[in-house]
Amino acid sequence: MKLALLGINHRTAPLQLRERLAFPVQEIPGALVDMQARGAKEALIVSTCNRVEITAAFDDQAALEPLFTALLAGRVDLTADEVRPHLYLYQEREAIRHLFRVAASLDSMIIGEPQILGQLKQAFAQAREHGSIGSLLDAVLTRAFNVAKRIRTETEIGSSAVSVSYAAVELAREIFGSLDNKKVLIVGAGKMSEGAARHLMRAGASQVFITNRTASRAQELALIFNGQVIHYDDFPRRLSEMDIVITSSSAPTFVLTPETVRKALDARKSRPMFLIDIAVPRNIDPAIQKLEHAFVYDMDDLQRLTERNLNARRELAQHAEAIVSEEVARMEAKLRERDVAPTIVSLQEQLEMIRVDYLKRYRGKLGPLNLEQEAALEAMTRGIINKIAHGPISEMRRQAANEQPGLEREAELVTAVRRIFRLRDR
């Protein structure tokens, strides 16, 4: 079988096109079934905000048109001419390499982000549940997950923050050590503060409080985090309870002043307070940074950290790419070995049938044999067929293990062996 992958991603297509090609989760099972009906032996669909990709296994001589048909199926507002310039098609080695790079987050908008691995695993589980994962995709995807794990272990490519919200969490960890049982106050209800709150809660922060001039939006955010709403006029009075404060308000003036924070710190008896200002213009008066035990970071601080970490990830990616190349070669060798295995098994079975047949035919002429003679006869005849099989089997395995084989030469050898020994198709 041959492996092929067709898709678009954040580098090849604008968001508007990716949105129009995206598969709703409920449509993927039907698309997988449709692909199999059109000739794909195995199929996988990955659809995220940054990529839409279809991977499939086909018979060696099959056309790849079902990939394109599946991608456009049901998209009545799109034409082939609109989509084709944005597509990439990978086959065999390059398809394997691409899947390994995707799993390891080397093909992501932010190198090293962990979400894509989970999304790929979900797509794999969905395809398996609906019967479109066979031995080829199972082998390749399982290896892709292991490659991603190896890269994260050996390169630390995902260890540093590369988003503003995640950078805030790293800084909070530096200040508090552990975030277990820390209280978070969100002032304002913007997307940036929501993202920071998500990361903080994953890191162990136990309670989230929300305050916003518009009470209804505060209630919405409170539902997301199972949090509590504080009336906007009351939050300065409650400030001393909070370990971490995230501000993302559209207020035209500072919502936190040195005097307000000084009172809160006095009530906290020198326990530190971490203040993250994600608003533009700023919500937190920079003068607060001069207060002992107050740690203030604004967008510029967080952006500098993320850019520094992103550059570090790019350097680590070079090592990761070398690991991918090594693993691709190993995967190819494994798949080539699997391709020659049926011929090796057929050859061994055929020679064994010949051996057993001739033993039966001539055993009567040998007269009675004792146990030692029976064992010697078995060993001798097995040795003969093993000697005959050794040459072709060794050569097929050698070519399969070769990192840069001549694929046509390898196929010709397998065909020649099957013809010489008159092996039946399995």
C-alpha distances in Å from residue 242, one per residue of 92, 205, 256, 377: 55, 11, 13, 86
15: how many CB neighbours lie within 10 A of its CB? 10
Nearest to 237 by CA among 263, 217, 199, 209: 263
- Check if 49 is active-site: yes
Alpha carbon distance 5, 59 (integer Å): 14
Give the angle 52-194-295 at the CA atoms, nearest 5°: 130
Residue 247 has φ and ψ, to the nearest 5°, of -110, 130
b/e per residue, 343-353, with b = 16+ CB within 10 A?
Answer: bbebbeebbee
247: how many CB neighbours lie within 10 A of its CB? 25
Alpha carbon distance 388, 366 (integer Å): 24
Alpha carbon distance 275, 256 (integer Å): 10
| Radius of gyration (C-alpha) of the chain in whole angstroms | 31
Q: In what order do the strands lie in the sheet with 2-9?
A: 42-47, 51-58, 2-9, 88-91
Is the CB of residue 305 less than 8 Å from the CB of residue 160? no
Alpha carbon distance 154, 165 (integer Å): 25
DSSP 96-124: HHHHHHHHTTSSSSSTT-SHHHHHHHHHH
Sign of torsion over alpha carbons 111, 159, 45, 19: negative
Q: Give the tokens for residue 220.
A: 């919405």
Is the CB of residue 272 less than 8 Å from the CB of residue 176? yes
Q: Give the tokens for residue 94.
A: 């390059």
Active-site pick, 25, 49, 287, 353: 49
Q: What are the catalytic residues? A: 49
